[in-house]
Structure 1
Amino acid sequence: MLIGDVARRSGVSARMLRHYDSLGLVSPTGRTDAGYREYSGEDIRRIFHIESLRSLGLSLRDVRRALEEPGFTPSELVGDLIRQTRERIAGETELLTRLRRIGAAEPAGWEDVLQTVALLQALGSKSAGRRQRAAMASVDEVPVPVEALVEAVLSETDPNVAGALRWALAQSGDAGPALLAEGLGSPAAEVRKRAVRSIAEIPDGEATALLRDALGNPDLVVRRYAALALGARGVADAVPTLIDMVVEQTNDVDAADALSALASRPALAEEIAGRLVDRLAHRTAVSSVRRRLTEALADIPGATASRALVELSDDEDRAVALTAAYVLGLRDGR
């Protein structure tokens, strides 16, 4: 079969077939009387073998090894091809993400595109200072897609940069909470923590609803951050978790402050005082726990808290009795 016929039937151009011949990959078995290349059936099968291997991403050098080295084993080469393909896909995915973010910023001209690219690169910089400046600039100078800010804040380890990113997200509009909510379900504990802290700094609205849902999150850290934020927003659902935090001495001062803020509503003050008294009634609680619960009653107004403190001032546990007496003195001096 002449080279033109082979090219038509195999889909490999005559030029490439000549290149294969020059490399010694596949040379026509014979020649016609006129000197033209003439390919045998075996030559054509070899051409198809070459094209099949090239379709996997093999170089012509690797194709030669595969076809000519008797001891060649493909497993290592295939492993390298898998790694290279994954790297290529990751690179293309990163490029696609960047292009989508630039498009989301709705640039008016190439200057806007260049500014957005520069800011996105700065958010991924190894320099914490550069990342922090980029977070600040995203609010007043160059708009950055919220998706990029969310990705940055969920991966940020530097506390100062994280604070700047959370602030930027709080100014970014309504899209942030929904994207951050995905972080609450991350398998990584640190990502869940960053997500709830970021949601906590977004003003009322969808963020508050997400924080309510977070009270039922399997992650205890997420529940605690959500409770502190909801307490500051006056959401009564946070009370049980806040009291647990006082008992467990986990951010107990902040939890007591949040309970005090919630207790500014008279009806809620009685509920909070009642819950604290119920926990105090558990005599199995260790002295330090009962003392913290007594201290938490200090800033809870109302008759229930006052009665409980009077009774506790005669508690058999001296530390609790002294704490209650001290607290009563402060309340009487108001």
Structure 2
Amino acid sequence: MLIGEVARRSGVSPRMLRHYDALGLVRPTGRTVGGYREYSPEDVRRIFHVESLRSLGLSLKQIGRALQDPAFTPSALVGDLIRWTEDRLERERELLARLRAIDASTPTGWQDVLRVVELMQGLDSHSAARRQQAVLSPPEGVRVPAGLLAEAVLTETDPNVAGALRWALARSDGGGTAVLTAGMRSRDAGTRRRAVLALAELPETPATTAALTGALADGDTRVRGQAAVALGRRGVTAAVPALVAMVVEGDNDVEAADTLSTLSEDPACAARITSALVDELAAPRADSAPRIRLTQALVELPGRTARQVLRRLAHDDDRAVALVASAFVGVLDSGPGGADRAVEDA
């Protein structure tokens, strides 16, 4: 089979076939009387082998070794190819994010593009001070794209720079919500924590509320807690179980109790919160601390039921719980209208 026919059947150009011949990758086994290359069926199969390995990203040198060395094993090389490909994809994702950020800034000329690139370089600086300056004092005339700020938020570990980024993002056009929501799907808990903090500071929209609600099922307690507090402040009652769990576990329990108190301004929600706290108080526990925190959370709730529970807890078998409840009952009874409440609750 002559080179032209081989090229048509294999899809490999005659020039590349000659290059393979020169490298010793695929040398035709025969020559015609006129000296033209003549390929056997085995030569053609080898061409397809070469093309198959090229499609995996192997260099021609690596392909030659793979086809010529019987002792050559593919496992190490394939592992290297996976790592190289992952690195390349990451670089391409970063490039794509940069291009999208430039496009989102709606540049009217190359000077606008260069200003956005200057901002990106500032955000990529190894100096935390320079990164913060890039956020708070962007190049003149640059409208900082929300998506760029959101991308930076997800990777920023310096607390001062992270705070500046969240501040700027909350005052942007709101376009960073999708980026932060995607960050909530990261395998890295730190990335998810940074994402939920930023989402909590964005203006309340259906998209941000949905993302925060999804975070209530996160496997990381800090992510769940941050989402629960943010949702509770927005009046979302779905946060109640997570907030109660925070009180039980002692994880930012004071803020969780304050948020439950805010939610309890709705009478229907107050009854639900009181019931949840009472259920947790009834659960057997070896340590007094969770029940003391639950008792403290009850004090913040309005309504007759919460006060009745406190009065019962003043006679609890656990002396530590009883002392705390007694002190709170005394404070409630000594306040304005305390005597009347005591009669009502009796």
Report TM bin, short chain.
0.7 to 0.9
1:210-267 deviation line (CA, Å, top 9, x unaligned)? 2223223344432221111111122222111111111111111111111111122333
> Do residues 217 (structure 1) and 218 (structure 2) align?
yes
1:209 Cα deviation (Å)?
2.6
Counterpart of 2:238 in structure 1 is 237
- With over 3 angstroms needed to count, the CA separation of the structure-2 counterparts of 1:113 and 1:215, relative to structure 1, is same
**Matches of 1:86 and 1:225 in 2, distance apart?**
32
SS at match of 2:161: helix
Relative to the length of structure 1, the TM-score reads: 0.74
1:307 Cα deviation (Å)?
1.0
Identity over aligned pairs, percent:
50
Aligned CA RMSD, in angstroms, stands at 4.4
- Once the two structures are overlaid, the 10-residue window that deviates more, 151-160 or 267-276, is 267-276
Counterpart of 2:156 in structure 1 is 156
Alpha-carbon contact 1:274-1:304 (below 8 Å) kept: no
Letter in 2 for 1:235: V
Letter in 2 for 1:296: A
- With over 3 angstroms needed to count, the CA separation of the structure-2 counterparts of 1:224 and 1:93, relative to structure 1, is closer
Counterpart of 2:272 in structure 1 is 271
* Aligned pairs (5 A) from 1:84-103: 91=91, 93-103=93-103
Q: Which runs of 5+ in 1 are unaligned?
A: 1-9, 18-37, 43-48
**Matches of 1:269 and 1:171 in 2, distance apart?**
33
1:288-316 deviation line (CA, Å, top 9, x unaligned)? 11111111112111101111111222223
Structure with the greater alpha carbon radius of gyration: 1
Letter in 2 for 1:258: T
Relative to the length of structure 2, the TM-score reads: 0.72
Letter in 2 for 1:228: V
SS at match of 1:267: helix
**Matches of 1:267 and 1:303 in 2, distance apart?**
13
Q: Which runs of 5+ in 2 are unaligned?
A: 1-11, 19-34, 40-45, 337-346
Letter in 2 for 1:195: A
**Matches of 1:282 and 1:72 in 2, distance apart?**
65
Alpha-carbon contact 1:120-1:144 (below 8 Å) kept: no
* Aligned pairs (5 A) from 1:110-125: 110-125=110-125
Counterpart of 1:254 in structure 2 is 255
Counterpart of 1:107 in structure 2 is 107
1:12 Cα deviation (Å)?
7.7
Counterpart of 1:5 in structure 2 is none
